[in-house]
Each structure stands twice: as C-alpha cells, then as structure tokens.
Amino acid sequence: MNEVATDTPIHGPSCLLQGEPGAGKTFALATLVAAGLELFVIVTEPNGVDSLLDGLKHYKLPVDHVHWHYIPLATAPWKSLREMATKINTMGFEDLGKLKAGVEKSKYKQFFELLDTLANFKCDRTGEEYGAVDEWGITSPDGAWPRAVAIDSLSGINIMAWNMTVGLKPTAHQGEWGTAMNAEERLIEKLTSDIKVPFVLTAHIERETDEIIGGTKVMTSMLGRKLAPKIPRLFSEVILATQNGREHNWATISSTAIVKTRSLARSDKLAPDFAPIITKWHERIAQSKKNA
C-alpha cells in the first residue's frame, strides 16, 4: 500500500454528477484517468463495472490505474418474499406501519460493507488494500499517480440505507424514513468534508417539489423529498448529464434542475470530461503554494 502524504489544505473537488439512466455518468469516470488520476470506484450498479471498462476502452486508457470494489444489492430469498407478501395480504396498511421492527433487516449488510470499503479500500481486480479513503493525500512520495474516489451510484446507497433501516418491511412510518435519511446525509457529509482527493458521486434524478420557492425542480434522487435540496450545498460541482441521441453533454446551467459550478464554464452543452475540473484544482494548489 502506498503511503500518501497530505501536503496542502486545498482539498480536491467534490462532484455530484446526476442524470437519467444512459446519460453516460459511469462512462465519464474514465476521463479522471485521462486527467492523470488513479481512480478508485465503489460500484453499486449491477452493470457499473461494464460501463467503467467501456469508458476506458473508448478513451484508449489502460486498466492499470483503475481499481473498483463492487457491492451488489441484496435480494431476498423466495421464502422471505412470500412472508412479506403474506403480511401485505393479511394486514391493513396501518397495521403494517405499526410493525415495531424491520423484517429480516439483520440480513441487509450492504451499507456496512460500503462503510468498511471506505475505511479500507480493497480492489476487486488486484486484491490489494489501500487504507481509508479520507486518509489519502493529494500526492504520493513514491511517485504514484494522485488518486480520485468515485461512488457509482447514490441510487445504490438509497437502497442500502433503506434496507438497513426496515429490511423487508412492506411500509414504514415517518420515524423510519427519518432514520434512513439521516444515515445517508451523515455519510455524504463525511465524504464531501473529509476526502482530500477529488471525489465524484453519480446519481439519478427525479422531479421534486421545491418547498422553498415553490414549483418543481429536477433534483437528485434520494430518500425523501426533503433531503434532495440540501445535498447540492455540500458539493463544489453539481452537474446535470444529458443525452440527445448519441450525444452526451454536461450542463452547469438549467432552468429546470439544481446545478452549480466553481470550475466549469456555464453552459448546457459541455463535453462530459472531468479534466477542466482537475486542471482548475491544480491551479488552486499552485496558487496556494505561491502565496504561502
């Protein structure tokens, strides 16, 4: 494992890349490698590794500087699904909501595996362990490439947090919703605050009511509508990935979606490329050292 030193207070950018399925979010992660970074990806999507490898092939990049750990979502055995169906068939909605404990939730450990992987990243490809992602600095004394961390995607975290809270319980009361949302929010706060290297979280989108200014907005798909508007403030970049035929674009301006940028141009037709963000980060590091 490479020992990595923290040598600057200028943390890497934290990017929320959101969009509909097929908008090229996972594919675009390969551009982090093209930008000179060693990429570590926690994959929660069933075909996420395939898309990542396709991106590397498209940009003609070797796999040597890419590491991933796949956390498959838990599926229930037929017997458990039948027991859940029996409860739905024999109990009313109010009685289902009053069930005191989650159904078989002790079997849903994916959220714990996510935390363990962040605390000590183990690569599925090489079997090598790299330690806690929040302890990585932006340079490595042995000359290794600077690192970047990505989680693909938030939708998987939604399911993990929900299953951890209620298991196979058919419905949930307000307190259980709040518990799952709180676990997810605390995790994202940790990721965006403590990771020093560039961090990317991919996410799907949905239209939600904006309870502050009214109307509806395209927001990050999360547990509960109250959490989605709070998350963008934690990221330096909130990008909307779009698809028009075979063309993939990024948008940092939108009349319908929540977006923001500190490093990219303000446009709705940007190339899907992290390189400008990484370049701007390097410029800030150089500026901080010059002024020190």
pLDDT at 7: 54
| 163 within some domain | yes
Residue 23: give its domain's CATH number: 3.40.50
Q: Per the domain annotation, does 211 fall within a domain? A: yes
| Residue 7 lies inside a defined structural domain of this protein | no
Cα–Cα separations (whole angstroms), residue 7 to 4, 12, 223, 283: 9, 12, 36, 15
- Identify the segments of the chain with pLDDT beneath 70: 1-9, 97-103, 139-144, 209-215, 291-292
Domain for residue 286, yes or no?
Answer: yes
**Residues 110-120: pLDDT tens digits?**
999 999 999 99
pLDDT of residue 4: 39
Residue 122 lies in a domain: yes
**Per-residue model confidence (pLDDT) at position 56:** 97
d(CA 220, CA 203): 6
Domain that residue 242 falls in: 14-291
Q: What pLDDT, on a 0 to 100 scale, did the predictor assign at position 8?
A: 55
Q: Is residue 3 part of a domain?
A: no
Q: pTM of the prediction?
A: 0.91
- 184 within domain boundaries: yes
Phi, psi of 8 (to 5 degrees): -160, 145
What lies within 8 Å, CB to CB, of 119 at 6+ separation is 132
Residue 291: the pLDDT is 63
Rounded Cα distance, 55 and 35, in Å: 14
Total domains in the fold of the chain: 1
The beta-strand segments (E) located in the chain are 14-19, 38-43, 66-70, 147-152, 199-203, 205-209, 216-220, 237-244, 247-251
Q: pLDDT per residue over 85-104, tens digit each?
A: 888 888 887 777 666 655 67
How confident is the model at residue 276, as a pLDDT? 97
Specify the pLDDT at position 1.
38
199 domain residue, yes or no: yes
